[in-house]
Structure 1
Amino acid sequence: MPLFIKAMEIQKLVEHIEKAVKNTQIKYKLEYQAGMIEGNLQFLIKNSLIIPAKIANAAHEDVLYDIKMENAAIIRIAAKELITDAKGLQINGYKDIEYLDLLRAEV
């Protein structure tokens, strides 16, 4: 299923972004920014895991239409939150935005 494959690619990309952010020495202007970046990373990971799970659930033939539409709404929200959290990383001091731009393009 092409949509599931794309979701798995996004998940792998988020894993690489997490590693890159954790291995980067970021100079924070404000002390709370480190916590904000950690929160953004946690939400990125959570949302990247939600998308393939909900796609797989909606792909079954015996799933009711209402459940499929609920899964579609959850997928849409998770995708929007991926973009929002990527922007949060950038705002809080992560400078290698090429990875974040790649994530935006993939979503």
Structure 2
Amino acid sequence: MATFDDDDDDDFGLDDEEYNSEESKRDLQRENDRVDNLPVMKKAREIFDIVDSLVELIDDEDAFIAHYRSMLFEDASIICAKIAGAEGGDLYSLRMENAVLIRIHARNLLAQTSGLKMLGFKDVRYLQVLRDAIEEFRLLFIEWVNGFDKSNDISDNWGNLFR
């Protein structure tokens, strides 16, 4: 049985000069800027900012309502991370896996707004602001996913779930 050696100095065929070149750094920055400027990412960041403001209004004295703070943050954070992952993965099946997770976490946020309202959260108008932003995100999300290139994929031996 082979063992993993984390001290391996494998550089994946890149020499230090090539790996740390200014051109590589510029390429990475351009890619980061491209992802950051996607309409779906901009809206996801807006949702995160709304959640960030919303959780400040959650009263710590009510344990049921206070529990929502971490759930809201987690879902909003994961949406942004999975958009970046989908853009970085490029293969259709990987992009779709990330898209499914994004959808789940966006829908969780919607469910949490209903839960907060049901538990008597006082500032319900802020819940509607979040719901409206998620609806705008949903429309951008559909457009973004429809742009995925189905022909750019390889078999992963897990079946054709997304074809």
SS of aligned partner of 2:57: helix
2:92 partner amino acid: Y
RMSD: 1.6
- Structure 1 partner of 2:84: 56
Mapped to 2, the partners of 1:22 and 1:71 lie a distance apart of 33
One of 71, 75, 99 as aligned partner of 2:98: 71
The AA in structure 2 aligned to 1:93 is G
> Which shifted more, 4-13 or 35-44?
35-44
CA contact (8 A) 1:14 1:48 kept: yes
Conserved 8 A contact 1:40-1:86 = no
Number of residue equivalences: 97
Counterpart of 1:80 in structure 2: which amino acid?
A: R
2 CA distance for matches of 1:95 and 1:22? 9
Deviation at 1:77, TM superposition (A): 0.3
Q: 2:39 matched to 1:2?
A: yes
TM-score by length of 1: 0.83
Q: Does the 8 A contact of 2:58 with 2:66 survive in 1?
A: no
Structure number with greater Rg is 2
TM-score normalised by the chain length of structure 2:
0.56
Q: Which has the higher helix share?
A: 1
Deviations 1:65-105 (A, max 9, x none): 11110100000000000011111111111121110001000
Q: Taking CA–CA contacts closer than 8 Å with sequence separation of 6 or more, which of the two structures ends up with the larger relative contact order?
A: 1
1:38 aligned partner, one-letter code = A
Q: Separation in 1 of the partners of 2:87 and 2:59? A: 35
**Contact 2:44–2:79 at 8 Å: present in 1 too?**
yes
